[in-house]
Structure 1
Amino acid sequence: MDPVHDPVLHEEAEEEVPTEDFQLEPKKRRKRTSATYKKAPQAPKRSKSPYICFSTVKHKEIKDTMGPDAKVSDVAKKVAQVWRNLTDEEKKHWELEAEKDKQRYQEEKANYTGPWKIPSKRVKKDEGAPKRPMSSFLYYAQKMRPLVKEQNPEKRNTDISKVLGEMWKNCSEEERNIYVKREAEERERYKLAISAWDEKQAEKIADEEKVHIDTMPIDMSGQSPQMQYGQYYDPNYMIGQHQSMNPYMQYPQMQQYPPSYGMYPSQNYGYYSYPPMQQQHHHHQQQQQQQHNYGMIPNAPPSPPSSHMPPQSQSMQQNYMHPYNSGYVPVTGPADHHGYPSHD
């Protein structure tokens, strides 16, 4: 017979199932991770209750009446007792104060547009940093915990810590001074170690910032080429790069008239600019074009020389300096078909 449909097997299986109620295991507490959130410090503070308004004002007064040795818990109990003994008329004043604070919160909440919560991340401790010294009680508990745990094996760590606290309170002054002295020695040792470590970290950060500044691209447009390009600066290479980017710079290098030569002022002159008379004629044409088209850029770059140039006069030919002439002696000769005088 098929075991799946065998009633005997099903009866045995049903008998094996326990009839007692199952008890669920208690839920484990979620560990706090670095992704937890906290209230944003710039967010509006919530409104206070009448009791909080009363406690904020009266807490210091009640604490002064109880003396400087009063515990925080005792002061809080006294404040609550005074609040309970107030009449309805006296409590009405604090209710009005709470209502004003509630209106303040509503206005700030309506105008606030920022986040209400921000992620709180714990700062990771540097593993190489010196460790802080323990307190005198922790040194005492570190020594006595194994003994107490051996005498009370059934107690949990929290209960053992309570026993150690009672033992520390009942400890003699001489025995307690041993651990107090050890704490002082460890603190002095820690101060020296942490100061040396801070200096080392400061030097490390300074070196990292220096490397970052050295490798960082800096705008040196206002500096000289030697400062801009450092030891790799090559004037010939930079001139070639500039000429390759500007087509008008591919003509022969310009020369300059002497300061007092002829009737023309000192100016840059070469194949990529016009001769003196033609330059004046071209400047006059630019002015007319600017008056006709108002709003255009006035300082437009000069256009390359054109083959259709007006003929030159004899006086201009006599005062003409050839671009290849490196001296100040003018070159004279009959004009060619471009309007330039020939060079003998």
Structure 2
Amino acid sequence: MDGIVRNRGRTKLDAQGKPTRRRKKKDPMAPKRPTTAYFYYLAKMREQFKQEGKHVSNVGAFTKEVSKQWRELSASEKKPFEALSDDDRKRYDREMNMYRKPKDPNQPKRPQSGYFLFLGDFRTKMKGKDLGHKAIIQEAGKAWNAMDAEAKRPYEEEAQKKRDEYEKTMTAYRKSKMANRQGEANGGAAASPPEDAEDDFEEDDDDDDDEDDE
């Protein structure tokens, strides 16, 4: 438990008491991320060392030296590696288009936090003023941080209410989804979802990260 403490809920806190981001499990079937131009160059230099019969005894020092050489290359010298990277990016985009599954339109939408409910009201008040989207977000952040707990309470209470409603609808959604899966597996026969049905959809709760950046 060194460096990590738990609060009474499910949120993990670091040594400074700040919430830690939960890492999603990596799908082994997901397409391999595209290789950058620099890594193509690094691979070439490694191969060149092997062909010359040299041995890389210190990987860190070798990588540092190759990185220095890369920065000193001209645009024309980097071009072949950038072309390889562009091709690999296209490969990745093609594979991702095939890999991504459309989101279930019946899945409940995650509720907004107290801040985002406040932001909605703030945007309404700012209508007609000559402020861009970024400026409005900045001003809203300042206003929210300046508010005391009493001023924030209506938004926090509304957010909690929406979270409670979301948990109820999400539980029903998970059970329905799991029952449908088991029904298909059993040739259409109805089945009750297992007790750990919720675990199968744990990652669905983290699909929308927009509200994490207040």
Band the TM-score falls in, shorter-chain normalisation: 0.3 to 0.5
**TM-score between both structures, scaled by the size of structure 1:** 0.29
Which is bigger in relative contact order (C-alpha 8 A, separation at least 6)?
2
Higher helix share: 2
